[in-house]
Structure 1
Amino acid sequence: MIVDSHRPAAAGRPRSRAATAVVLLLAFLVSLAAWVAPSASAEQPSRLQQQVTDTAGVLGGDTAEVESRLAELRAADQIQLWVTFVDTLDGIPVQQWAERTRVKSDLGASDALLVVAVQDGAYWFEFDDPSASPSADQQTAQRIADRDIEPRLAAGDWSGAAMGAADGLARQGSGSGPSAGVLLAIIAAIVAVVAVVVLVTRRRRTARTARQTEDARDIPGDDTARLSALPVDVLDSRARAGLVDADQAVDASTTALETATGEFGELRTRPFRSALDSARADVAAAHSLVQRLDDDIPETPDQRRAMLLEVAGRAERAERALEGQSRAFAEMRDLLINGDAAVDALTRRAVALRARIPVAERSLAELRSRFPAAVLSSIEDNLPLTARLLDAAEADTARARSALARPVGEQAEAVDAITAAEGELVRAEKLVDGVDHAADDIATARRDLDALVAEVEQELAMASRLLGSTDV
């Protein structure tokens, strides 16, 4: 008769020392004569000195083979199986006897224990896997006992029972699930894959943001619609980059203003100074907004976006104002550098224009003979005005030539003189052109006038018919 019973993990014992196992009690009644010895005495639990203890003397010449198999299990699977065969427990429950033996032997995690009481027909097997749950340990011990231990004990195969326990434990370590080393390798591989995915994703996101930021540099700072469509981190980079550019423009314009003031004087540089003051105010306000964005007081996403748009707008406005003034003074400087050539060109234009005046006078006299004074009233004073503008242009040209003869730094008056002469000649040329083209302009006007009169007469006739057909 075979009897087995199973127990849970021992209560009150730490998990690392507990052998969560199955109580497998077997009463072997295969041959009572072979199991019972009248002279046998009970053995008390004691500390196990080696993995195989056979005080019952049942292993005989198989002891070395059992020890070799247990050594293989320890080396390959890091599981230490302790086996002890005794004659009798003299009435001590096998579970209690095994528990005392475990405690005295300081067995712990990854230790298995097989106790066989030969004459009592009972055995105990337990296994503690630190990576498994108590219920899993119980199932493991039950499976090994049923398949590998109990059938051999029933047949009196004592060494086979010990090696069967080792085989079951080895199969548990390699077949029921991955070992700790395999699990660690799997976890490491998963972590590596996740790290690669995170790194690739982060690099792609960084590259995409960098491209968006670079493209955003082409968006004007006052283009609110396009800037508002940007992700907030891209808008943040765009606004801050624009502010850096505005800072550099203010610094460069400050130096340029000092140079321009020395070249052209306070009066001519007054617009530049005004633009620089306005740009400084915009840049200071933008920096104040950035400080608020970077402080410990959080803003809502909408507030942050609105503040970044204002930073970008102020930076753009400051840059544009300074660019306009810088361009104007660059043109003035170029005008001084090429002043002699400009004066020569003005002189040639004045000479050519003065030669056109007699021809224009004859054209105007002919027009007076063909058209009434009322028709010519718009050009009647063109030639006298041309003569006065021409005199003024020649005087400004001479003033410019004189200013250009002064030392460098004292030639600023040439800019005003050249600019004035240019404007006077342009107006004078338009007046002479008006006389030269008057005949064609009058003919065109008359042709258009006849068509306009015909159109008005047609509309009046239509209106008259409509009025005549209306019931009163």
Structure 2
Amino acid sequence: MRRPVVVVGVAALLSLVAGPAAAEPPLEVTDRVTDEVAALGAGAEAARTAVADLAAEADLGVHAVFVSSFDSADPGTWAEDTAQLSGLGESDLLLAVAVGQETYEYGWWVDDSFPLSQVDVEGVVADDVQPRLDAGDWSGAVVTLSEGLGALAGPAEEDEAAGPQWSATRTLAVVGGVAAVLLAAHLLSRRRSSTGPSR
């Protein structure tokens, strides 16, 4: 079952002019980065490169959506509905950001079977991504999210590549077995020497 994991509320941005924002219903996304309001600007390429690198290196899909408004919907519900409409799967994460003139809102979604720990992902979002959003650094938020997930996936991949680890008990057992074989061979050699034909 798919569900929104965390919804973080509204934070103030520096803006002096307020105006009504056009509402955006949940939508089907076909690209990893969807910018309906041209929020990313010159940082769009960096954001797209970051999510592409993550997909290639860790097989994780970050999808970032920037709209003007969540159409009065709960941000997490909006993110979940968009993920379902887009057919996202268990290795995907969707970050949805509504960029208003005075405020912004964001929510994010992952599948229940997402391969990384929910607690770890929440930590990346709260500690690294949200400060970027607070500063209005939209592309930086996408890059930071991608890099954070890549760092979480890295140790697990390295452990898997290293193969099974030998415990101290197993090492002692192997060393003891080898020593026993060598001792038995030595004793057998001495026995043969002592019982051999005399000259």
TM over 0.5: yes
Does the residue aligned with 2:7 lie in a helix, a strand or coil? coil
State the secondary structure of the residue aligned to 1:43. coil
1:155 corresponds to: 135
Q: Which amino acid aligns with 1:89?
A: F
- Bigger radius of gyration, 1 or 2? 1
Quote the Cα distance in structure 2 between the aligned partners of 1:200 and 1:185: 28
Change (3 A) 1:71 1:194: same
Q: What TM-score, normalized to structure 2?
A: 0.74
Whether the 8 Å CA contact 1:110–1:130 is kept in 2: the answer is yes
* Structure 2 residue 122 is the aligned partner of structure 1 residue 122: no
Partner deviation per Cα, 1:327-376 (whole Å, 9 max, x = no partner): xxxxxxxxxxxxxxxxxxxxxxxxxxxxxxxxxxxxxxxxxxxxxxxxxx
Q: Please tell me the residue identity of whatever aligns with 2:145.
A: A
In 2 relative to 1, CA 207–106 (structure 1 residues): closer, same or farther, beyond 3 Å?
Answer: farther
Q: CA deviation at 1:126?
A: 4.2
Q: Name 2:29's counterpart in structure 1.
A: 48
Q: Show structure 1 runs of 5+ residues with no match.
A: 1-12, 216-472
1:169 aligns with 2:149: yes
Aligned equivalents of 1:49, 1:194: Cα separation in 2? 51
1:82 & 1:156 partners in 2: Cα distance?
A: 18
Task: Count residues with an aligned counterpart.
Answer: 184
Relative to its length, the structure with more helix (as a share) is 1
Select the residue among 117, 126, 131 that pairs with 1:146.
Answer: 126
Amino acid of the residue matched to residue 156 of structure 2?
S
Q: Does 1:190 align with 2:166?
A: yes
1:131–1:150: structure 2 CA closer, same or farther, 3 Å change rule? closer
Q: CA deviation at 1:152?
A: 1.8
Whether contact under 8 Å (2:90, 2:115) holds in the other structure is: no
Q: SS where residue 169 of structure 1 aligns?
A: helix
Alpha carbons of structure 1 residues 131 and 117: separation in structure 2 relative to 1, 3 Å: closer
**Letter matched to residue 159 of structure 2:** L
Matched to 2:133, the amino acid is L
66, 72, 84: which is aligned to 2:53?
72
Which of 156, 162, 165 is matched with 1:179 structurally? 156
Question: C-alpha separation between the residues in 1 aligned to 2:181 and 2:12?
Answer: 75
Q: Distance in 2 between matches of 1:115 and 1:56?
A: 13
Output one character per residue of 1:161-211: Cα deviation in whole Å (capped at 9) or x when no partner.
21121222223233xxx223x2224443439x95995597289469849x7
**2:177 aligned to 197, 201, 206, which one?**
201
Classify the secondary structure of the residue corresponding to 2:88: coil
Structure 1 counterpart of 2:68? 87
Higher share of residues assigned strand: 2
Q: Is the 8 A contact 1:24 1:142 kept in 2?
A: no
Write the distance in 2 (CA, Å) between the matches of 1:155 and 1:64: 19
Q: Which letter does structure 2 place at the counterpart of 1:171?
A: A
Tell me how far apart the structure 1 counterparts of residues 115 and 184 of structure 2 sit (CA, whole Å).
45
Instruction: Give the Å deviation of 1:145.
Output: 2.1
d(CA) in 2 for partners of 1:105, 1:58: 21
In the alignment, what sits opposite 1:459? none
Whichever residue aligns with residue 141 of structure 1, its letter is V
- 8 A contact 2:34–2:66 mirrored in 1: yes
Structure ranking higher on relative contact order (CA contacts 8 Å, 6+ apart): 2
> Which aligned pairs between 1:21-40 and structure 2 lie closer than 5 A?
21=5, 23-31=6-14, 33=16, 36-38=18-20, 40=21
Q: TM-score, normalised by structure 1?
A: 0.34
- Structure 1 pair 76/118, CA: closer, same or farther in 2 (3 Å)? same
Label 1:58 to 1:131 Cα distance change in 2 as closer, same or farther (>3 A).
closer
The alignment yields a C-alpha RMSD, in angstroms, of 3.4
Amino acid at match of 1:173: A
**SS of residue matched to 1:84:** strand
The corresponding residue for 2:197 is: none
- Hey, what's the Cα distance between the residues in 2 that align with 1:204 and 1:130? 48
